[in-house]
Amino acid sequence: MMADTASAQAPFRVKSAPPQQSIKGMRIVVESDVDALEHHIPAWEALAASAIDANPFYEPWMLVPALRELPEESVCVVFIYDTPSNRLCGVFPVVRRRSYHRLPIPNLSFWKHKYCFLCTPLLRTGYAESALASYFDWGEGNLSAWSLIEFNHTAGTGPFSDLLKAELRRRKYHGYPIDTFERAMIQPAESSGSYLETNISNGRRKEWRRQFNRLREQGCVEFAELEREEDIDSWIDHFMEVEASGWKGRAGSAILFEAQSRRFFSQAVHGAFQRGKLMMLSLRVNGVPIALKCSFRAGSGVFAFKIAYREDFGRFSPGVQLELETIHRLHQDGGIQWMDSCAEPNHVMIDHLWAERRPIQTVTLPAPGRLAASIRSLMDLRNYYARVVGNLRARRSDAS
């Protein structure tokens, strides 16, 4: 494992918000120091285990390392406790910004760092409605009239989405923009064979079998899963080296090339393994990894965090072969109900393999008051011109 010197702690604070408030039977604690998060962790992990929607990116074993290593802006974490029971009922990592897509509109949104693929807050089952209402009250109370509150990059279907819609109706929010995109996901079928036969053409499956047979001609081919704690560091090193060997290495965006990213990735993998939430697979030829995939379990699902493969084995499609093995293992594990690809929309490889789609949405709300209509008009104008410019760029690209 590569040794790194200790990083300087990035700024982690929020402006003007009081550290504690009480709203309608809920106690709100705003933490602006990463070390202060430690005493919340037992309650935080209990909340994650009973959350209405799973999100490993906001669980403490991943969020705390991210806050130590990755923030490039001021962040705070809003904890919402039920006062009578003292149970932690909501966790909201938030950032304040002075502008919104270059418009001079201050806003409050969920924190999304470069390795975060979902911003759905953690809300405790049985207390979710009260916790979300308290967050709204807190947010609206800490915004000026010329402001936005944003629920960005959250699940577009499911319990949180339904709860958010109900709260917006209750508060009489109208005419707010919702941006939605879809990314690939898997919901296991009766068997992996039936899943692939239903969703993948016979021609593609035949070609992938041919490539796998050709790969076996290169030597001993095997799939492996990380099982022993003493092997974690070597798996992390292999993953980073394989990722850096490809296009991410050439682009300078591989984890290996940034000390903060290396430390975050190592801490997240160790934290997930210790909690039984890590699913890390590799494809090896003669004992040497040529493809690796790191995923995190959360609730009844799995989030595919990252995949890497050696491009010099590209003629054998090692990334596809590892994805096919992942599909087989998902169907063998009866406890997994779905897997989120965390991939960009229209992903060239994943979308051919993963049949289902998961909507991810961003809801943007002008702060309530007399200026809300003006803010909506300004946002509509900005979005209109953004679409016009996007269409012009697309036409130029098609013509060139």
Domains 20-178+368-399 and 188-336 share a fold: yes
| % of the chain beyond a pLDDT of 70 | 87
Considering Cα of 120, then 107, then 345, then 177, what sign does the dihedral take?
positive
Q: Could you tell me the pLDDT band of residue 1, with boundaries at 50, 70 and 90?
A: very low
Strand-pairing partners, residue 317, are none
pLDDT attached to residue 5? 35
* Angle, vertex CA 45, rays to CA 301 and CA 151, nearest 5: 65
Whether 384 has a pLDDT exceeding 80, the answer reads no
CA distances from 221 to 192, 273, 285, 300, 310 (A): 21, 25, 5, 31, 15
Backbone dihedral angles phi then psi of residue 143, each to the nearest 5 degrees: -120, 150
Architecture of domain 20-178+368-399 in this structure: 3-Layer(aba) Sandwich (3.40)
Percent of the chain with pLDDT over 90: 74
pLDDT per position as a tens digit, 368-382: 655 666 666 666 666
The type of residue at 388 is V
pLDDT at 132 over 70: yes
Angle between helices 60-69 and 259-274 (to 10 degrees): 170
pLDDT by residue (tens digit) across 300-344? Answer: 999 999 999 999 999 999 999 999 999 999 999 989 999 999 999
CA pair distance 379, 367, nearest whole angstrom: 13
Q: Are 116 and 150 in contact (CB under 8 A)?
A: no
Q: Classify 163 as helix, strand or coil.
A: helix
pLDDT in tens, 242-276: 999 999 999 999 999 999 999 999 999 999 999 99
Per-domain residue ranges of the chain: 20-178+368-399, 188-336
Q: What type of residue is 148?
A: L
Residue-wise pLDDT tens digits, 18-58: 566 667 789 999 999 999 999 999 999 999 999 999 999 99
Least confident piece of the model among 5-9, 185-189, 238-242: 5-9
Give the contacts of 195 (CB within 8 A, at least 6 positions apart).
Answer: 186, 188, 189, 327, 331, 355
Nearest-angstrom CA–CA distance, 110 and 121? 8
Q: Can you read off the two tokens belonging to residue 149?
A: 């509150």
Distances, alpha carbon 9 to alpha carbons 15, 118, 140, 238, 260, in Å:
18, 24, 29, 28, 11
User: How far apart, in Å, are the Cα atoms of 340 and each of 110, 157, 369?
Assistant: 20, 13, 38
Is the overall model pTM greater than 0.85, yes or no? yes
- Nearest CA to 45 out of 259, 237, 275, 338 is that of 275
Q: Is the pLDDT assigned to residue 366 strictly greater than 60?
A: yes
Q: Which CATH class is domain 188-336?
A: alpha beta
For the stretch 231-265, what's the b/e string if a residue is b when 16 or more beta carbons lie within 10 angstroms of its beta carbon? ebeebbbbbbbbbbbbebbeeeebbbebebbbbbb
What residues does 308 pair with on adjacent strands? 292
Cα–chain center distance at 129: 23
The residue written with tokens 């229209």 in the block is 346
